[in-house]
Amino acid sequence: MFNVETIRKDFPILSRKVNGKPLVYLDNAATSQTPQQVIDVIVGYYSNYNANIHRGVHTLSQEATDKYEQARQKIQNHFNAKHAHEIIFTSGTTHSINLVANGFSTLLKKGDDILVSALEHHSNIVPWQMLCERTGANLKVIPMNQDGELVIPEFDALLSKNTKLVFVNHVSNALGTVNPIEYIIKQAHLYGAAVLIDGAQSTPHIKPDVQALDVDFYVASAHKMCGPTGEGMLYGKESWLKKLPPYQGGGEMIAEVTFEKTTYADLPYKFEAGTPNICGGIAFGAAIDYMNAIGFDAISKYEHELLEHATEKLLEIEGLKIYGTSKQKTSVISFNLEGIHPYDVGTILDKLGIAVRTGHHCAQPIMDYFNIPGTVRASFAFYNTKEEIDVLVSGVKKAKMMLS
Ligand code: PMP
């Protein structure tokens, strides 16, 4: 049974004060908070079995290796990957995307097309631009409409035999739109193109099934899912991961090294050069356990109620405009008050203990589309409450009064 008051007790940070006021943390799309259960795993690792993995015969190393590989299996099960070796540990979504982009340098040629959506985070734009510079491939953009939805007929029209890759986020961090990735994957595959889905913003709310989606690559960051920063994952279909060359060279990723020739380790180690964030991987597994114990159906349902409540209450404020009005949304509300800079609103909200994000949210093309410098973004997690949203709404009203 979902009980938000019980859940909140798991998060020590939620009981702190900011500027003398109870913290109202509504910046979950930037990073989520960490429950005691995950903090305990981090402390437990450094207190009991901190050791380098995969290469030690001693007990601590074996314990750390076992826990790290168990975490990989937890992630495999969570995403329903066919094989554990299709899960690559990375430092986060950005690292995962760069790993794939680098790999495709050897597979693309001049004249090939890469399709990217207008709703992307910079980390799903810049690596592809760099890839295009290296290969002579063209970057083409699937446009969006005023509701912040992708224009699917335009996507259909962009697809051709030249399309080699399609990159779309599952959920937009700036607007909260949930993109129709099932359709996008299916259509792209008709043309033989590979699809990478950026799950940084979906994975805190939705449990993706990579086999049912038939997606080629799916990436996520632990720190948006109650886990630690500097940790993330790349799911790749075995066939693709075998085809892609390694990203970084170093220890762990080799089979044999001589000065004449080096051979690479099997999956997943081929992509995991150097000592990884061992504690981070183990804590990522613990975070996934934590969220699954609450249940993603319950999380989505509750967060949707928060989203509806917040949307309704915020829209009662005259001169407030919400960007991203698709019916397919997760718990992100991007808004502005007429004639007031988002940064000023965010500063006043902070004085009231309310944490929101202001700015372009690493999605400048979206801001350019709406012709605005940025927005105020409130983003909810399953540990937020309706009362906190009411505090936000009265804070926004206060900001409007002070700044008008
Ligand atoms: N993609 C999206 C949609 C995001 O929201 C973010 C984080 N804001 C990223 C990619 C990058 O994630 P990270 O900084 O954890 O690598």
Query: How many Å apart are CA 343 and CA 341, to the nearest integer?
Result: 5
Q: Structural domain of residue 385, as residue ranges?
A: 4-26+295-399
How many CA atoms, within 13 angstroms, populate the side-chain half-sphere of residue 296? 16
Q: What is the mean pLDDT of residues 115-137?
A: 94
Which of 173, 206, 229, 284 is the pocket-test mutation for ligand 1 (most atoms within 8 Å of CB)?
A: 173
Which of 124, 229, 362 is the pocket-test mutation for ligand 1 (most atoms within 8 Å of CB)?
A: 362
pLDDT reported for residue 14: 98
Pair 231, 252 in one domain: yes
Other beta carbons within 10 Å of 83: 12
**Domain tally for the chain?**
2
Last residue of one domain, picked from the residues 293, 318, 346: 293
- Which of 22-31, 132-141, 255-264 bottoms out in mean pLDDT, i.e. has the lowest? 255-264
- Which of 246-250, 313-317, 320-324, 380-384 bottoms out in mean pLDDT, i.e. has the lowest? 246-250
Per the domain annotation, does 148 fall within a domain?
yes
Query: Residue of the nearest CA to atom 5 in ligand 1?
Result: 173
Distance 370 CA to ligand 1 centre (A): 21
Among 218, 188, 177, residue whose Cα is nearest residue 326: 177
Distance 93 CA to ligand 1 centre (A): 6
Other beta carbons within 10 Å of 240: 17
Per the domain annotation, does 183 fall within a domain?
yes
For residue 98, give the CATH number of its domain: 3.40.640.10
Helix (H, G, I), strand (E, B) or coil at 404: coil
Per the domain annotation, does 404 fall within a domain?
no
pLDDT reported for residue 10: 98
Query: How many Å apart are CA 221 and CA 284, to the nearest integer?
Result: 9
Tell me the C-alpha to C-alpha distance, in Å, between residue 113 and each of 102, 135, 237, 363: 16, 11, 21, 22
Per the domain annotation, does 10 fall within a domain?
yes
Q: If pLDDT is split at 50, 70 and 90, which confidence band does 241 have? A: very high
Instruction: Identify the DSSP state of 127.
Output: H
Sign of CA dihedral 106, 233, 269, 252: positive
Q: If pLDDT is split at 50, 70 and 90, which confidence band does 343 have? A: very high
Query: Strand 138-142 vs strand 113-117: parallel, antiparallel, or unpaired?
Result: parallel
362 is known as an active-site residue = yes
pLDDT reported for residue 154: 98
> What residues pair up with 95 in beta bridges, in sequence order?
none
Query: How many Å apart are CA 298 and CA 290, to the nearest integer?
Result: 13
Q: Residue 56: is its pLDDT beyond 90?
A: no
For residue 375, give the CATH number of its domain: 3.90.1150.10
Q: If pLDDT is split at 50, 70 and 90, which confidence band does 193 have? A: very high
Q: What is the mean pLDDT of residues 137-161?
A: 98
| Share above pLDDT 70 across residues of the chain, in percent, rounded to a whole number | 100
Last residue of one domain, picked from the residues 277, 293, 309: 293
pLDDT reported for residue 252: 85
Q: Residue 1: is its pLDDT beyond 90?
A: no
Pair 109, 252 in one domain: yes
pLDDT reported for residue 370: 95
Helix (H, G, I), strand (E, B) or coil at 317: coil
Summary count for the chain: helices (H), strands (E): 14, 17
Q: If pLDDT is split at 50, 70 and 90, which confidence band does 55 have? A: confident
Which of 121, 197, 224 is the pocket-test mutation for ligand 1 (most atoms within 8 Å of CB)?
A: 121
Query: How many Å apart are CA 165 and CA 129, to the nearest integer?
Result: 13
Pair 11, 50 in one domain: no
Distance 256 CA to ligand 1 centre (A): 35
| Structure-token pair, residue 393 | 């709404």
Mean pLDDT taken over the chain: 97
| Share above pLDDT 90 across residues of the chain, in percent, rounded to a whole number | 96
Query: Residue of the nearest CA to atom 4 in ligand 1?
Result: 200
- Which of 86-95, 209-218, 253-262, 308-317 bottoms out in mean pLDDT, i.e. has the lowest? 253-262
- Whether ipTM > 0.85 holds is yes
Query: How many Å apart are CA 385 and CA 20, to the nearest integer?
Result: 20
Q: Residue 251: is its pLDDT beyond 90?
A: no
Per the domain annotation, does 31 fall within a domain?
no
Protein residues whose CB sits closer than 6 Å to any atom of ligand 1: 92-94, 121, 123-124, 169, 173, 198, 200-201, 221, 362
pLDDT reported for residue 342: 97
* Ligand 1 atom having least distance to the Cα of 93: 16
